Structure 1
């Protein structure tokens, strides 16, 4: 076999690794899931229509959560700067922020008029005690009064130094044309001088702001003046998946759409209708919020303190003999994490996969995913994949020139597959 053939085979494997695979690797770097008594973590911009913790440098994010122990513990937080790969950077806190990198959470109150008692905590960043100076990736850790980390969350602050134009396409692969989306984009940098774009510029691509969906380390296919073109044909591709399932517990006492019955037993129990795996069914459209959730209640004015909890019972009809993968309930309700709490178990008596989670009142999107022994997430095996599915795609651009000690986040672009370009 010639050297040229070896080179082509090696390049093929490199491209497969760089530009995406049918499965997603559950990201565990620096990510600590919360303990059982911490519920309903929301981390998002102040804009009610935004769900991902990604904002321009200087804009605010709000982090909130409930402690169902309801004992008004003193919790604190710590903010750390990360590199492009979400590893803690070598910068000192004084280099990336002013004020305190670690401080107490001062805003907390006990719930009232609820069957499930809890203490609700809220924090805005930046705030009067800290200001973040540099764009990039960040990790926030919530600490108990002994300094132990309760849980962590990622967030991104960017400065718009470049313009990112993104488009979504149907796959041109005849075998995948009805199942996959292809993403292409152009980075315009008229005011940024790049000496070596392939090394100085890095990008991340996400589907529906799911951290596990990221495709990284993509090099520009063409460099034309002050434009970087990432116009690979099917190079940056995703399984389109299916529209998310949903339920709404804003009226926690009553059965509503997708809720079979409710029952009061110390706290509320919400029983969802059993759903069938949709992988073999025709595509059916209904609107969703791409895996996100919105807390709301009709029973009170302030869902933060008066929203109640229920045990939500999920059940899925799926052939357990199909393979040995585990089945998980999946969505932004737990930051797209794979944990014991959202794992389903097969019930021999009912013949269904089942799981129960304690969840606060609100509107929730979720789906079912298969996860193998290597913690690789298969986003389409249970629920199928259809090109008609509406998804949001986000491109985040990073810049590190030669000699710099950190990765700047310098641009963001989005598109929606509702308007496919082909």
Structure 2
């Protein structure tokens, strides 16, 4: 039994979201007394977030489910600097138009997970460029800079990593933690935000913001982080064989999104059902107890529920139907990724790379020689193979047992 009294922390604890908290008792008490506005920050470096961001998005969803107010903070300001956390290299600068376009695109995914509006527990999205962009440099140094010591800033892992590897860290990036701390204070002052959440790698940045509000305003705000979400094989959440698993359909087809969840390791099924779906806990307990080939029922339930949340019920149903046609019937379902190779055709390695099954032609050639590639169900082991498709016809391309696509003329 959880020791927490508030619906919020009981829900987060039950589903496995809690790693660190600045003051668990204080937050538990506050969540029983009032609606707690809480935020998570997201950079706008691409037109879509990916599955690696999903645990933070689900945190906001859980916050709303427990009767509190989610605040999505898009880093229109901090994206111009770049979060050095976990990064070896200086981030490339984006134009203002690119950042604004990315934010507009990212919002469409959030609208599936959260209810936006003007009500007390409705979600809102804000852009930190709206306030960071107004700060004068000297004003910032005077108001905020005095509360950060260089000694402390140098102790952060994000800084130490770069210094140890003798990778450059610009003065601009070094200031990221100050601006993120200021974000929390600003949101507390202007919107009553009392909670910042994020992944475990953001703990230092979150603590900075908690301390800044205490020092500048004598207000107690709270921080909560999730555990680092890794797969059973040790790899990071959010990556697949063919790259990032994007949340927006424009960056990743529905079938590929569904298939990512369907391919979950047996050992991860229960954890992912709790974190990434709304299925009831007792149903999850039943599913994760399945053994042998029966565990596939749990994986399909996970794929359907996770895809329905992100892409909609119709996308989930269509993807499952495609999978059944492809695997059970040996056919090719409607949702499989497709590639037009033109009348002149394409080399098999180039086709594998162009459809997204491999990262490079070199990797594709290795897979072909290993016997992992099939055309219309027949193994092909010669990397020099040219693929041609007659007009109006199609060829099914497969890599291993789980990646399938359609080649057309």
* TM-score bracket, shorter-length normalisation: under 0.3
Judging by fraction of residues, say which structure has more helix: 2
Whose relative contact order is higher, 1 or 2, with alpha carbons under 8 Å and at least 6 apart? 1
TM-score, structure 1 as length reference = 0.26
Which structure's CA Rg is the greater one?
2
Normalising by structure 2, report the TM-score: 0.27
